[in-house]
Structure 1
Amino acid sequence: MLEFPIAELITPEEQVAVARAVAIMASRDEQVSDSERHFVEELMGQMMLLPEERDLVRREFTNPSDLVEVAHSVTHREARIFLYYQAVRAAFADSRLVEGEREALVELAEAFRFSGEHAVAFIKWVADSIELRERGQQLLVEM
């Protein structure tokens, strides 16, 4: 998994936009699972969002804004990569990638002018990383 020094790379405004976009991403399959909600909560904690910012993010679960519109407020390249990475992880938070989530990831990649080929490879890399981590955890349990 990737490590990002968030405070050094992403402005506070972009951090809120990232969290909002990830929450919107989680809502794309018409239901927000507990694991998706937990993922977004952990992300907000990692970015140390203020209580009122967290409330704004949580509203995206029930009344999602336009993903691309929110994402366009993230302007720095590093912040966009961080957002895309977190969006992919959020899509897999419930261990499955449904069509609405896949479409949203394509929209996001296009909005950021990421190469379609690279976006698909990146999604596969994240999925493979998650699978490897889960297999490693299972091996530890079985040892």
Structure 2
Amino acid sequence: MNQVFSLALLVLALITGGVSVSAQESRTAEILGKYPVEQPRVNSSFIKPGLVVTTQKQFSEVWKKLKGGDQPKISFDSAFVVLHVRDAADPNRHRFTARIRDGELEILALSTRIGFQRSDRTLTTVMEFSREGVEAFREYNPKTRKHVTTPLK
């Protein structure tokens, strides 16, 4: 009986310790701004999975390629942006959640699953995040079925 009680305490300690460690490693990241830009598909073809923009010069080049009109003002000393592309004809609602785990920011794009006819236009969402606590951006590439990790510069 004493061994069973000791084993139960050990299991409880392991479970409790594991939960508290996991909770410390991950936290929600706030999206500081979302800037949607609609463009022809050919104008967004340069956007690869894991594209992170960390400088004003790089952002100006990207924005010019997107043909987005007035460029948002972003302080790249304290922030960076990540680009997400989807079909412009997609009627599904998209919701973004972002988490920082071990210094890596990862974005999860959730959407409804309504079917649609693919169009020749895309909608690029430029999302702004704080650099605080972020060392890299991690994104899943469905084509290669691998995660792409891009260090922040």
Q: TM-score, normalised by structure 2?
A: 0.22
**Higher percent of residues as strand:** 2
Bigger fraction of residues in helix: 1
Of the two, which has the highest radius of gyration?
Answer: 2
